[in-house]
Amino acid sequence: MSTAPLQPLAAFDIGPDGSTRPVADPWPDAAPGPGAAWRWLHFALTDPALVDWTEAHLPVVAAAAIVQTETRPRCTSLEGGLVVNMRGVNLNPGAEPEDMVSLRLWVGPGLVVSVRRSKVFALDDLRRAAESGTAPASPGAFLAEIAEGLTDRLEAVSVELEDQTDALEEAILEREEDDAADGLASLRRKAIRLRRHAGPQREALVRLSEGSSGPGLIDAEARILLGESANRAARTVEELDAVTARLVALHDHLEGQRGTAMARNGYVLSVVAAIFLPLGFLTGLFGVNVAGMPGTASPWAFALLSAANVALALGLLALFRLLRWL
């Protein structure tokens, strides 16, 4: 066992009625104390003593999984417990919501261990409630409340992204604002990054709600609540997919407009070049400085050449209109 001090972010014994009692042990045991139904221990991933504690108190695979630096949402049943990874939108100061923060959980008989790198606000709400004396009465109810808090915040960010997409569509399609497309790439990036973790999280919540966690760990009522969170997560994924598709359509619309404008401008330039090509030939021909050029001795020669050029240009313009090139 390591001699390094362990500093849990939260440590509580929770009774069958949801009452809480802080755990003051600097190296807390994994078993709940007398009279408690279960124990919740919450750690920071950066705690130097965390690896030693998990190796001493958790199954081997769970101890390795809960301290991984890179995770994706999942729910895996092993060695009498559950490894659950979830993601929440990043609401920490200076962060972007789509840079989703990870939450690692080990759920065993009478024990929940949670590990985070950055603050997870849904879990922080539970910590404050536990400090005030109340907490979910079972690990299953605890998971259900975490899932609900994470889904609430994910839905809020998704709705905001949808509203921004609505505003962008109106600016581009209705008002045709030239600078409206500047935010298109940013919105697409946000939607893609949110969708990347929202999809696997939906699948993990479905596994929790459908009984893939094994008997006894999650009660029937908690499964119903987890199923509701899974349904809301699925709806959020569909909304993110719809937002992504709408942004792709906007991008295609803008590209089509740019292509049409370039084709139109190229066509106009081609017509102008076709008109001025013979004019340039005539002026070049009469501009050669060789003996025998007609009109060199006539004071009206320049005026006649200019009039001929104007007549030729008007004739070519009339011909192009007759041929419906203009």
**Beta-bridge mates of residue 326:** none
Read off the pLDDT of residues 90-139 as tens digits, 9 standing for 90 and up. 988 888 888 899 999 999 889 999 999 999 999 999 999 999 999 999 99
Domain borders along the chain are: 10-256
Nearby residues of 155 by Cβ (< 8 Å), 6 or more positions away: 232, 236
Return contacts of 206-214, CB within 8 angstroms, 24+ apart: 206/230, 206/234, 207/75, 208/75, 208/82, 208/84, 208/143, 208/147, 212/75, 212/77, 213/75, 213/77, 213/82, 213/107, 214/77, 214/80, 214/82
Tokens of 69: 């630096």
Query: What does the alpha-carbon distance between residue 212 and residue 227 come to, in Å, rounded to a whole number?
Result: 12
Query: What does the alpha-carbon distance between residue 87 and residue 229 come to, in Å, rounded to a whole number?
Result: 13
Nearby residues of 14 by Cβ (< 8 Å), 6 or more positions away: 20, 21, 32, 36, 37, 38, 39, 40, 130, 135, 136, 137
How is domain 10-256 classified at the architecture level of CATH?
Answer: 2-Layer Sandwich (3.30)
pLDDT surpassing 60 at residue 224: yes
| Residue 237 backbone dihedrals phi, psi, to 5 degrees | -60, -45
Could you give the angle at which helices 220-286 and 184-209 cross, rounded to 10 degrees? 160
73 CB burial (10 A radius; 0-12, 13-18, 19+)? buried
Read off the pLDDT of residues 158-186 as tens digits, 9 standing for 90 and up. 999 999 999 988 888 877 776 777 788 88
Q: Cα angle at 118 between 117 and 122, to 5 degrees?
A: 115
Read off the pLDDT of residues 44-75 as tens digits, 9 standing for 90 and up. 999 999 999 999 999 999 999 999 988 889 99
Q: Residue 318 has what pLDDT?
A: 82
Read off the pLDDT of residues 196-211 as tens digits, 9 standing for 90 and up. 999 999 999 998 888 6
